[in-house]
Amino acid sequence: MSELRISGLHKSFDGHAVLHGIDLSVERGTLLALLGPSGSGKTTLLRVLCGFERADSGTIEIEGRRVAGNDLHLPSEQRRIGYVPQEGALFPHLSVADNIVFGLPRGQRRARHRVAELLELVGLPASYAERAPQQLSGGQQQRVALARALAPSPTLVMLDEPFSSLDAALRLETRQAVANALAAAGATAVLVTHDQSEALSLGREVAVLWDGKLIQKATPETLYRRPVTRELASFIGEAVLLPGLVAHEVAVCALGELKLSAPIADGPVDVMVRPEQIRVLAAGEAATNGTHTFDAVVREVTFNGQDASVLLQLDAQHAATTPSAAIRARVPGYRSPHPGDRVRLAVDGDVTAYARA
């Protein structure tokens, strides 16, 4: 049974539609990442789920109990939802312990109910209970905010881009600690984010909002390898899109005949290849699995340390049939070529294709 079920949800502001018939379910004990670009409706959906905004139409059920729909709108305090905002929003005049128990009944607040247990759950020492929030790092404050959200044993936890204000190293550490705490608590959670790597690494499933519509819900691997639109392909990581033609379940483009990840009708297409699928070999080197190779010249190299982004131009003889065939590949940093190097290209794995009008 789904812990959260949304059906036909619509929401408008001043006559402008923001959510268009959202249907979404989240299974009990799982973390769903809700991903989308700015303005896609993520925050509005979160606010409607939490009860901060009233839906125009549609229904919301949490653990089988309807909380919105058919003129029903339960206030947020009756929905048993834990909420973790972007900045943590801890009360600076309260200790860590008092922040954690803030939303509990008076007796439990006085007893500091489960404070030590919750601090351990989010990976903080029990001794932090007496500290002021100002004495904690940003990542530690976010962990305390999660402990506060988990304190009332909510049915559902909503996380609103909780790592966006942290630096890169702290973000990785904190989001893993939060994911571990949610899993240990057996919590059902929805993580709202615009960070693709965050969604793919944390979500058991990822749901993508685009212009107020839910366009795809899938496992991270499926979403990355087989996004439903070319625009989504470019949003979820980097994508190389090449004009091509599908015939008999094979895509033919500037990089040769490529196997499709899913069938598509014969005809003109855009072929999507991920940069890491393109192997950059030394000039004259053959692909080990017998894959056809193409000669190219390195035009630009962007060195990132662990990897490098390489812009390549197919040889003029081959590019005569596909004159715009500039290819971007990603290689390990230690194998980074140099501008002007002559290389060979080969493609690993299958590809996705999108029909052209």
Q: What is the pLDDT of residues 210-239, one digit of tens each?
A: 999 999 999 999 999 999 999 999 999 999
Q: What is the pLDDT of residues 133-177, one digit of tens each?
A: 999 988 899 999 999 999 998 989 999 988 887 887 788 888 888
What domains sit in the chain, N to C, each tagged with a CATH number? 2-230 (3.40.50.300), 240-355 (2.40.50.140)
**What is the amino acid identity at position 94?**
L
Pairing type for strands 267-273 and 240-247 reads antiparallel
| Nearest C-alpha neighbor of 301 from the set 311, 292, 291, 293 | 311
Calpha distance 312→211 (Å, rounded) = 34
**Token output for 215:** 């366009």
Q: What is the pLDDT of residues 66-82, one digit of tens each?
A: 999 988 999 998 999 99
- The H-or-E segment that residue 190 falls in is strand 189-193
* pLDDT exceeds 90 at position 306: yes
Calpha distance 209→22 (Å, rounded) = 9
Q: Rounded mean pLDDT of the chain?
A: 91
Assign 320 a pLDDT band (cuts: 50, 70, 90). Answer: very low
Token look-up 């060979």 returns: 344
In this prediction, residue 89 carries a pLDDT of: 84
pTM for the model stands at: 0.88
**Token output for 238:** 């980097």
